[in-house]
């Protein structure tokens, strides 16, 4: 009986001795919470007690995004744009299916297996693709403008127009621009034999490899004119795609293939390397007209190759 009473007393003493420690732990926790709140008030953004501050990488990324936006706004003002250009969304992981223009046949048969000729990319986003042909005008201001505004574009070069200054387009390539094939001398290809067309296209492939280190997979037929021999010759030279265009922009006006005289998602826009000898203005004037128009309509410029 005495042993039972003794055990009951021991358990009671243990319960009493634990109670102050629990109270002390609670007091410490409350003090720590108060200290955390006070520290948060002193240091700005900390989040709730117990949460970590935002990672330095996220803070750095946000700061860089703000800096990039400020630089773009300043560039738009410097180049006298009416609006700041819109940013294109990231290209899709799954590329759109590119189909040849409807109604085109080679020797009475569908052109399956040949490089598809197309004027637009089948997408729903308000994106257009800027492409520039030939290479006659080599305006340094154009390079600066496109770099500062971060506008992507795709180039189709003719050797007769660029051979006086291959270096200009090497600078363009160093800025991430893809250089593509537009024949050696810009002829009307359907008037030539297969071998003559092949010489024009494959010969330009050789020039591109020698001068710029790679053979393009994109080819644009001069004037947008082609026949079955054109596409067979292009394929034999390693060409995979033959984009043409939906709209053409000049320094003072636009021209359209479609009856509605309007932009459409995925349209390929053509212009040329031209200057005051051919236009009443410069390449930068043309770019300003192009960007003001598409931005006003809610469109951004994307890189054509990212969708192929």
Same domain, 155 and 280: yes
* 128: nearest Cα among 243, 39, 274, 9: 243
User: For position 1, what pLDDT does the model report?
Assistant: 43
Residue 152 belongs to a domain: yes
| pTM, two decimal places | 0.79
Within 10 angstroms of residue 71's Cβ, the number of other Cβ atoms is 13
Same domain, 286 and 166: yes
In the predicted model, is pLDDT for residue 107 greater than 90? no
Tell me the mean pLDDT in the region 113-121.
Answer: 95
Same domain, 216 and 144: yes
Same domain, 39 and 126: no
Same domain, 33 and 155: no
Residue-range definition of the domain harbouring residue 140: 111-307
Residue 70 belongs to a domain: no
In the predicted model, is pLDDT for residue 54 greater than 70? no
Residue 174 belongs to a domain: yes
Residue 67 belongs to a domain: no
In the predicted model, is pLDDT for residue 154 greater than 60? yes
Same domain, 117 and 49: no
Domain final residue, candidates 29, 53, 77: 53
Residue at token pair 């900390």:
46
Same domain, 35 and 125: no
* 242: nearest Cα among 99, 140, 109, 127: 99
The Cα–Cα gap between 154 and 172 comes to 10
User: For position 56, what pLDDT does the model report?
Assistant: 64
Per-residue model confidence as pLDDT tens digits over 235-273: 999 999 999 999 999 999 999 987 888 999 999 999 999
Q: What is the tally of structural domains in the chain?
A: 2
Per-residue model confidence as pLDDT tens digits over 81-93: 999 999 999 999 9
Beta bridge partners of 6: none
Beta strands 242-243; 117-118: pairing state: parallel
Same domain, 128 and 267: yes
Contact present, 268 and 246 (Cβ < 8 Å): yes
* 86: nearest Cα among 300, 266, 263, 290: 300
Residue 179 belongs to a domain: yes
Distances 122 to 112, 224, 262 between C-alpha atoms, Å: 18, 20, 16
Within 10 angstroms of residue 171's Cβ, the number of other Cβ atoms is 14
Same domain, 183 and 282: yes
Residue 104 belongs to a domain: no
Residue 92 belongs to a domain: no
């Amino acid at each position: 009986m005495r042993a039972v009473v003794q055990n009951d007393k021991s358990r009671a003493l243990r319960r009493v001795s634990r109670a102050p420690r629990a109270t002390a732990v609670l007091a410490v926790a409350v003090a720590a919470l108060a200290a955390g709140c006070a520290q948060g008030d002193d240091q700005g953004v900390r989040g709730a007690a117990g949460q970590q501050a935002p990672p330095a990488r996220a803070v750095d990324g946000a700061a860089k995004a703000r800096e990039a936006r400020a630089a773009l706004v300043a560039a738009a003002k410097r180049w006298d744009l009416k609006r700041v250009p819109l940013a294109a969304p990231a290209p899709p992981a799954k590329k759109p299916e590119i189909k040849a223009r409807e109604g085109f046949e080679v020797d009475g048969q569908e052109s399956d297996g040949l490089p598809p000729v197309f004027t637009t990319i089948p997408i729903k986003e308000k994106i257009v693709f800027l492409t520039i042909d030939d290479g006659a005008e080599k305006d340094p201001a154009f390079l600066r403008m496109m770099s500062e505004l971060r506008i992507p574009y795709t180039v189709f070069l003719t050797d007769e127009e660029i051979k006086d200054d291959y270096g200009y387009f090497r600078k363009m390539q160093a800025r991430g621009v893809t250089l593509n094939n537009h024949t050696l001398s810009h002829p009307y290809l359907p008037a030539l034999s297969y071998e003559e067309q092949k010489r024009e296209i494959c010969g330009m492939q050789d020039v591109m490899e020698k001068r710029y280190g790679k053979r393009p997979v994109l080819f644009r037929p001069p004037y947008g004119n082609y026949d079955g021999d054109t596409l067979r010759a292009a394929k034999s030279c390693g060409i995979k795609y033959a984009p043409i265009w939906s709209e053409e922009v000049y320094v003072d006006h636009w021209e359209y293939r479609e009856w509605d005289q309007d932009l459409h998602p995925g349209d390929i826009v053509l212009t040329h390397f031209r200057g005051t000898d051919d236009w009443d203005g410069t390449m930068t004037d043309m770019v300003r007209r192009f960007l003001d128009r598409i931005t006003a309509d809610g469109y951004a410029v994307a890189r054509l190759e990212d969708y192929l």
